Structure 1
Amino acid sequence: MSDTRSPDPQDPQDESQQETFISHLVELRQRLVKAVAGIILVFVSLVYWAPVIFNLFAAPLMESLPKGGKMIVTDVTGSFFVPMKVTLLVAFLIALPWVLYQVWQFVAPGLYQHEKRLILPLVSSSYFLFLCGVAFAYFLVFPTVFHFMAHYNAPLGAEMSTDIDKYLSFAMTTFLAFGITFEVPVVVIVLVRFGVVELEKLKQIRPYVIVGAFIIAAIVTPPDVLSQLLLAVPLVALYELGLLLARFVGRPSPEATASGETQPD
């Protein structure tokens, strides 16, 4: 029969486990407070320039509008809260290394040495690639799509005036889509490194990945072929890059895993 006894408060082992659990919760709370405080500090530092930040954020659309075109506000508080939301987004991106550092400080004591050596480069490259995806969307996708839509509306006699809240929603979705897309090489490397999927298997499913890339692009981008290609083609290219880099990243040998250097600190 299985042992179904309840924890004994007098058992030193149970008491030690409870103290360890509580100490982890306290440390997690401290790390969360520090992470949020870092974001708030950056946000407060940027609040004064919120209108300037929003103008930079909206520049790709404004430059594509016909002469005299402008954005509109359909919500009473939209002109205040939308720039604040954009500023908060920028503050989060700036403070993200600090947030990741707090996460690292919390999980590092429970990691093996070889995992520590791997995770730090992966986190750094993930942050860099996410910023690259956001920059790709801002500097290439936005001008291309907005220019296409503005000229598409002209023959219809329709005036293109976008609400700033809807523009924020569209931009956030696009940033997130391209930011995640640029994480594909990291995902491929992690899958191969930890033995979840063999590299040869990832090569074999290449045709399915290509089809999936276009399906994902059709779902998360505006309903035009150009914007879908701008997401699907980089997604496939980044998958190929991940396959290429994964050749140089092998699984840790059993000898290394069994050695003392792979034990948690």
Structure 2
Amino acid sequence: YRFVEPGLYSHEKRIVKRYMVFALALFVSGVIYGYTVVMPIVFVVAVWLATLGGASLFFSIQDFYQNILIGSLATGIFFMFPLGILALNKAGIISYETLHNNWRYVIFAIFALLAMITPDPTLISDIVLGLPFIVLYFFTMWLVKRSEKGKKKN
């Protein structure tokens, strides 16, 4: 922020500060969720699949911490999804009506994608990863609706 601050007007500084706090809150909550919920499930499933296949459970401490770091950071970035959609709305690319009319398709597509990319044959990891997305999607819809109401007032 200190790097870009000298080039910003006062109203731009307020906007950047507000969105930086929002982005940080979303990212940190995602990292916490990834560390406390997602990563334990990932390791339980990995151990289960390895023992089921007869493989030995040997990995270094560095690999263990690297996987936790990458998984937690990826979940934190995933939680910043509302900011990306809000930016698309501000640019006029996506509207509340689009989000509202297509929410069923988006949620179906996300669960289909999760079913393909998660190694867990049960639905546990899909639900654990999909439920926050549903909450974030509806939160995003609310943010976009609020943003569009603000545009109409001005």
- TM range, normalised to the smaller chain? 0.7 to 0.9
**Counterpart residue number, 1:136:** 33
1:165-176 map, 5 Å = 165-176=62-73
Deviation of the 1:136 alpha carbon: 0.4
Distance 1:162 1:168 in 2: 10
Q: Residue 145 of structure 1 contacts residue 226 of structure 1 at CA under 8 Å; is this kept in 2?
A: no
What are the Cα deviations for residues 98-154 of structure 1, in whole angstroms up to 9, with x where unaligned?
Answer: xxx224415424xx83x4443321111111111111110111112223234334544
1:223 aligned partner: 119
Q: Residues 147-162 of structure 1: matches in 2 within 5 Å?
A: 147-154=44-51, 158-162=55-59
Question: C-alpha distance in 1, partners of 2:140/2:57?
Answer: 40
5 Å-filtered alignment, 1:1-265, equals: 101-109=1-9, 113=11, 115-154=12-51, 158-218=55-115, 222-224=118-120, 225-250=123-148, 252=151
For residues 60 and 6 of structure 2, the distance between their equivalents in structure 1, rounded to whole angstroms, comes to: 42
Q: Are the aligned partners of 1:129 and 1:182 in contact in 2 as well (CA < 8 Å)?
A: yes
In the superposition, relative to structure 1, how do residues 241 and 154 fare at CA in structure 2: closer, same or farther (>3 Å)?
same
What is the letter of the counterpart of residue 211 of structure 1?
F
Measured in 2, the distance between the counterparts of 1:215 and 1:103 equals: 41
Deviations 1:81-101 (A, max 9, x none): xxxxxxxxxxxxxxxxxxxx2
- Gapped runs of 5+ residues in structure 2? none
| Alignment size in residue pairs | 151
Query: How many Å separate the matches in 2 of 1:177 and 1:217?
Result: 14
- Aligned-pair identity (%): 26
In structure 2, the residue corresponding to 1:102 is in which secondary structure?
A: coil
Secondary structure at the counterpart of residue 8 of structure 2: helix
State the 1:198 CA deviation. Answer: 1.5
Q: Deviations over 1:31-87 (max 9, x none)?
A: xxxxxxxxxxxxxxxxxxxxxxxxxxxxxxxxxxxxxxxxxxxxxxxxxxxxxxxxx
**Could you state the TM-score of these two structures normalised by the residue count of structure 2?**
0.75
Distance, in Å, in 2 between the alignment partners of 1:141 and 1:134 is: 10
CA distance, structure 2, for counterparts of residue 253 and residue 103 of structure 1: 33
**Contact 2:27–2:76 (CA under 8 A) maintained in structure 1:** yes
CA distance in 1, matches of 2:35, 2:8: 34
Q: Decide whether the 8 Å contact of 1:213 with 1:236 is kept in 2.
A: no
1:179, CA displacement in angstroms? 1.2
Distance 1:167 1:151 in 2: 16
- Which digits, 9 at most, give the CA deviation of each residue in 1:154-176, with x for residues without a partner? 45554322233433443343223
Change (3 A) 1:107 1:229: farther
> Root-mean-square deviation (CA), in Å?
3.0
> 1:206 Cα deviation (Å)?
1.3
What residue identity is the alignment partner of 1:105?
Answer: E
- State the shift of 1:203 in Å: 1.2
Unaligned runs of 5+ in 1: 1-100, 257-265
